Amino acid sequence: MILRDAVRVLVNNWDGSYTVPSRRLYPHQWSWDSAFIAIGHARWSPRRARSELLSLFGAQWRDGRVPHIVFNPRVAEGAYFPGPEFWAARAPSGSATSGIVQPPVHALAAWKTHLVEPDPAFLRRIYPRLVAQQDFLRAARRSPEGLISIVHPWESGMDNSPAWDLPLQAVETGVAGFIRRDLDTVSADERPTDRDYERYVGLARAYRDSGYQVPGAFQIEDPLFNTAYGVAESTLAKIADVCGLDPEPHEREAAAITQAMVEHLFDGALFQARDVRTGGLIRSSSAAGLTPLMLPELPAGVADALITTAVDRFAVKDAVLPSYAPDAPEFDAARYWRGPSWTNLTWLVWQGLKERRPDLAATLADAMIGAVSQAGFREYFDPFALRGHGCRDFSWSAALILDVVA
Ligand code: 2M8
């Protein structure tokens, strides 16, 4: 039943070559959504999984960046804010896009698709694009410490995480002249605040006005983004191998980023974000700090400390994974990325636990299935009451359930 319903959500959200995250709230193609969605499609239609990824990379920029939104020209300009007129950017393919990026989880999605239905020709086609995506991050976003930075909270995928409260204080508010469309669909107390949006818009405008070259007042090394980058390198090593290419440069890069993360972002219990402008760690209780469990070369002692934190502070033994530790004062069970449980974040930590702690991984898988069985394929869930929040029929909630039960 749950599997049939999950496929129904994906079929209804399919737009011919890719899947929208949600019909009303997000009516275009989103970058990391497409990666998670491909992982789900692979379980019932690997052809759609390959199409999902190839259509996203069809809008890759010349500098290698994969924009976080590819706009559907048939959707009205006002349907989503900020839309194509705001971003004023075009890929070489002619598609209107945004100019920022999201965590690079796409190599992993391509590899998982290949594992379900081996297709070396697909891997050969997508490999150079995945490499270019990483090249862009190295060229444009690497700090002297060897870590990759994001220049907008939207690039983290966890838009209003409490981890961004402090660095956002340096960003101007009072930006006017825009109308939020998200509140047409979702109640205001489940979304970012207007003050958050003023800062998001101000930051995006400044980056746009620099030709998407010069970072503004927000420059952060985020543990989830860097984990995605590192996992992409170790996955590219496997893909290179299948393509008859040298995996070694990727293996080296994966080891280097893991080491830099342990050295600069680990606080002894959790990975933290670092503010590139001040050089200081931003101490928060975000579940993003657990995702380095996915890095294959994470030292065992560090992994053990993360697992202790996951059990003690994120209740991984007896609840779905909250996006923010419930014992922290900023925790909010219903407001977007400030506490609710998200299927993609849970799936990332589940991946990281599968080999290290199969017992805890199984608990998380059951919790993910329990949440959607009770509340449906909602965008996010109250981690304790399992009440659904945000939009309904959300694509990655459906897609990742298909992967978890496979
Ligand atoms: C949310 O972000 C967009 C901006 O990119 C928004 O709020 O309008 C986030 O949850 C992000 O992680 C996700 O990719 C996107 C589409 O599902 O929605």
**Structure token digits, residue 85:** 């007129």
Structure tokens belonging to residue 397? 């909630």
pLDDT at 316: 81
Our measurement of the distance from residue 217's CA atom to the centroid of its chain's CA atoms, rounded to an integer in Å, reads 22
Residue in this structure with the two tokens 């200081």, named with its chain if needed: 280
* CA-closest residue to ligand 1 atom 7: 159
What is the whole-number distance in angstroms between the Cα of residue 29 and the centre of ligand 1? 11
Quickly count helices (H) and strands (E) in the chain. Answer: 15, 9
In the reported structure, the alpha carbon of residue 24 is separated from the centroid of ligand 1 by a whole-number distance in angstroms of 13
The predicted pLDDT at position 317 comes to 74
CB 309 within 8 A of CB 268: no
Residue nearest to atom 5 of ligand 1 (CA): 154
Report whether residue 159 contacts ligand 1, using a CB cutoff of 6 Å: yes
ipTM of the complex: 0.99
232 vs 293: CA distance, rounded Å: 14
Q: Residues 33, 52, 253, 379: which is the catalytic one?
A: 379
- Asked whether 369 and 362 are in contact (CB, 8 A), the reply is no
Distance 304 CA to ligand 1 centre (A): 31
Residue 30 · residue 390 · CB < 8 Å: no
Q: Which of 52, 119, 155, 159 is catalytic?
A: 159
* Nearest CA owner, ligand 1 atom 3: 154
Grade residue 310 by pLDDT with cuts at 50, 70 and 90: very high
List the residue whose alpha carbon is closest to atom 9 of ligand 1: 157
According to DSSP, the residues that pair with 275 across neighbouring strands are 220
- What pLDDT, on a 0 to 100 scale, did the predictor assign at position 175? 86
Q: Measuring from atom 17 of ligand 1, which residue has the nearest CA?
A: 21
157 Cα–ligand 1 center, Å:
6
pLDDT of residue 292: 99
CA distance 173 to 25: 24
* CA nearest neighbour of 148 among 212, 105, 103, 211: 103
Query: What type of residue sits at position 347?
Result: W
Whether 157 lines ligand 1, by a CB cut-off of 6 Å, is: yes
In this prediction, residues 41-50 reach a mean pLDDT of 98
**What is the model's pLDDT at position 174?**
83
State whether the beta carbon of 336 lies less than 6 angstroms from ligand 1: no
Instruction: Tell me how far apart the terminal alpha carbons of the chain are, to the nearest angstrom.
Output: 14
Residue 282, beta-bridge partner list = 273
d(CA 319, CA 298): 25
pLDDT at 77: 87
Q: Specify the pLDDT at position 332.
A: 97
Which amino acid is it at 145? E
Report the nearest-CA residue for atom 4 of ligand 1: 154
For the chain, the average pLDDT equals 97
Our answer to whether residue 159 is catalytic in this structure is yes
Residue with the smallest CA separation from ligand 1 atom 13 is: 157
Atom number, ligand 1, closest to the C-alpha of residue 98: 5
Give dist(CA 86, CA 98) in Å, integer: 9
Does residue 30 line the site of ligand 1, with CB under 6 A? Answer: yes
CA–centroid distance, residue 388 to ligand 1 (Å): 17
Element (H, E) at 29: strand 29-30
Residue 318 has pLDDT above 80, yes or no: no
Q: Under CATH, what is the fold of the domain 2-405?
A: Glycosyltransferase (1.50.10)
pLDDT in tens, 339-365: 999 999 999 999 999 999 999 999 999
Distance 120 CA to ligand 1 centre (A): 32
Ligand 1 site-directed mutation target among 30, 68, 86, 161, most atoms within 8 Å of CB? 30
Single-letter amino acid, residue 327: D
Distance 299 CA to ligand 1 centre (A): 32
Please confirm, yes or no, whether 263 is among the known catalytic residues. no
State if residue 332 touches ligand 1 by the CB under 6 angstroms criterion: no
In percent, the amount of the chain with pLDDT more than 70 equals 100
Distance CA 81, CA 167 (A): 23
Q: Please spell the DSSP secondary structure of 337-364, one letter per residue.
A: GGS-B-HHHHHHHHHHHHTT-HHHHHHH
Distances (CA, A) of 112 to 226, 275, 291: 20, 33, 18
Question: Does ligand 1 lie within 6 Å of residue 197's CB atom?
Answer: no
Q: What is the pLDDT of residues 69-127, one digit of tens each?
A: 999 999 998 999 999 999 999 999 999 999 999 999 999 999 999 999 999 999 999 99
DSSP 329: T
Three-class SS state of 308: helix
Question: Ligand 1 pocket, 26 CB below 6 A?
Answer: yes
What does the pLDDT read at residue 346? 97
**C-beta separation of 238 from 294 below 8 A:** no
SS (H, E, C) 187-244: CHHHCCCHHHHHHHHHHHHHHHHCCCCCCCCCCEECHHHHHHHHHHHHHHHHHHHHCC
CA of 225 to the centre of ligand 1 (A): 15
Q: Where are the domains of the chain?
A: 2-405
Whether 50 contacts 121, CB under 8 Å? no
Q: Which residues pair with 341 in a beta bridge?
A: 381
